[in-house]
């Protein structure tokens, strides 16, 4: 299934930002999504200044939002706090393909088994790269992190191990 928040195959990185400059740096480091949080004015500013990145925020122009009413009005993807909220959003008329379920690492498998794409929030976790690899392995679709370059490298490696993408560098040696 194709998702409106995904512009290319593989796991997507979402970076929380508070400025246009941070959004540009995150996009350059490999983030496919940036989260402007509650700063609605930041969403159009990022749109104007940063190409090739999707924007999450509480604004009509955002690609992803956390408010079901705004998602229904704007056509944006809705980020739900769990599978139950996602099922409720579907009952209220939001297409399942426009829903992304946010889960802690311990809830990823259940959400994936239920058929939802998952946003794994890695903020504040120790050993972020290891947690990113496990979340990717368990089936998360989006990883939220401030450490975009490090997590991108880790996610690419995990995707290669899982056979979802070719390795960035392969060395074969025979003794």
Residues forming a β-bridge with 128: none
46's CB contacts (< 8 A; 6+ apart) are 17, 20, 23, 34, 36, 53, 55
Computed from CA positions of residues 94, 95, 98, 103, in that sequence, does the dihedral angle turn out positive or negative? positive
CA–CA separation, 16 vs 146, rounded Å? 6
pLDDT (0 to 100) of residue 5: 62
pTM for this structure?
0.83
Residue 122 in this model has a pLDDT that exceeds 90: no
pLDDT (0 to 100) of residue 158: 93
Per the structure block, which two tokens stand in for 93? 């008329």
Per the structure block, which two tokens stand in for 123? 């903020």
Q: Give SS3 for 28.
A: helix
pLDDT (0 to 100) of residue 23: 97
Instruction: Give the residue with greater pLDDT, 175 vs 85.
Output: 85
pLDDT (0 to 100) of residue 129: 87
CA–CA separation, 127 vs 50, rounded Å? 30
């Amino acid at each position: 299934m194709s998702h409106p928040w995904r512009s290319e195959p593989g796991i997507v990185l979402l970076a929380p930002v508070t400025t246009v400059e941070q959004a540009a740096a995150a996009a350059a480091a490999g983030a496919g999504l940036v989260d402007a949080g509650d700063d609605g004015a930041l969403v159009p500013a990022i749109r104007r200044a940063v190409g090739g990145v999707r924007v999450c925020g509480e604004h009509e122009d955002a690609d992803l939002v956390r408010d079901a009413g705004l998602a229904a009005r704007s056509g944006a993807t809705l980020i739900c706090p769990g599978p139950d909220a996602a099922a409720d959003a579907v009952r209220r008329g939001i297409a399942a393909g426009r829903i992304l379920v946010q889960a802690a690492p311990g809830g990823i498998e259940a959400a994936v088994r239920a058929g939802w794409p998952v946003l794994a929030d890695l903020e504040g976790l120790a050993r972020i790269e290891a947690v990113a690899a496990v979340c990717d392995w368990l089936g998360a679709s989006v990883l939220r992190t401030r450490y975009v370059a490090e997590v991108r490298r880790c996610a690419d490696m995990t995707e290669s191990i899982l056979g979802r993408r070719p390795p960035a560098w392969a060395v074969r040696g025979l003794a």
